[in-house]
Amino acid sequence: MPQKKRPFNKSQLPYNHIGDVTLKKIRSEPKIPEMKSAYKQLKALERQAVDCMVETDSWFEMTALMFPTLDPKMASKKGMEFIQRPLVQAAIAERTQEDIDRYYVTNKRIVDELSKIAFGSIGNYFRIGDNGEPVIDLSNCTKAEISALSEMTVEDYVEGRGKNARDVRRIKIKMHDKLASIDKLMKHLQMFAPERFEISGKDGKPIQQVIECKMSDADAAAAYALTLENVNYTTKGE
């Protein structure tokens, strides 16, 4: 007696055929866990210390915040051990990148903003009236030209008395410091000649050596940071 053919069922095959591509049937893979924020993994006080480092870039403020009861040398040592932790370094990098993304801080934008001030002209903000006197006129100013202004004051008052009284409006504008912006722009673009520094200890005395050969890396780093606190830098012209 001939055997009955069983109906063909693709789901029973170990492979699914899709066009010319053969894909092996696999079970649902476990979801890859999302990367945890290094900053959020820190304790509250540690997050404050990271914020202090990123926002103020002050080593001594950070160590005073973390270890307020310790003397500066021990606090500096503990602070060095703290920032050497990989999780803390990742948190600092994470917070720094957040600030860059939030404020869109790029090299090009910094140069653009400084250039607006450095090369701005007071002539962009006034016109010469029929009587030959300058009249402030901002109607044709671009956003870039307006950004070069640091202050604008509008004052309304009455001049004269009785029939001779008249309403007067005085407008005063002030630009950002052009020379300071040019100086910052040239420093940013490294257009100045290299500066030379004279380094000395406190009150002009020689720098005291506080690092010993037998110190651990953490102790040496803390001692070095404490030494820098008492170092004086004097700029020398070419």
Q: Residues of the chain with pLDDT > 70: what percent?
A: 70
Is residue 5 situated within a structural domain?
no
Query: Which carries the bigger pLDDT value, residue 83 or residue 28?
Result: 83
User: Do 137 and 158 reside in the same domain of the chain?
Assistant: yes
Q: How confident is the model at residue 199 (pLDDT cuts 50, 70, 90)?
A: low
What does the pLDDT average to over 124-135? 90
Cβ–Cβ under 8 Å, residues 206 and 148? no
pLDDT tens digits for range 138-179: 889 999 999 999 999 989 888 888 888 888 888 899 999 999
Residues ≥6 apart with Cβ < 8 Å to 53:
59, 62, 83, 92
pLDDT tens digits for range 91-116: 999 998 888 888 887 888 899 999 99
Count of domains in the chain? 3
Cβ–Cβ under 8 Å, residues 147 and 113? yes
Question: Domain span at residue 226?
Answer: 195-236
Q: Is the pTM of this model over 0.85?
A: no
User: Do 154 and 123 reside in the same domain of the chain?
Assistant: yes
Is residue 14 situated within a structural domain?
no
Q: End-to-end distance of the chain based on CA atoms, in angstroms?
A: 110
Q: What is the pLDDT of residue 23?
A: 44
What residues pair up with 153 in beta bridges, in sequence order? 172
Residue at which a domain ends, from 103, 124, 149: 103
pLDDT tens digits for range 130-140: 888 888 888 89
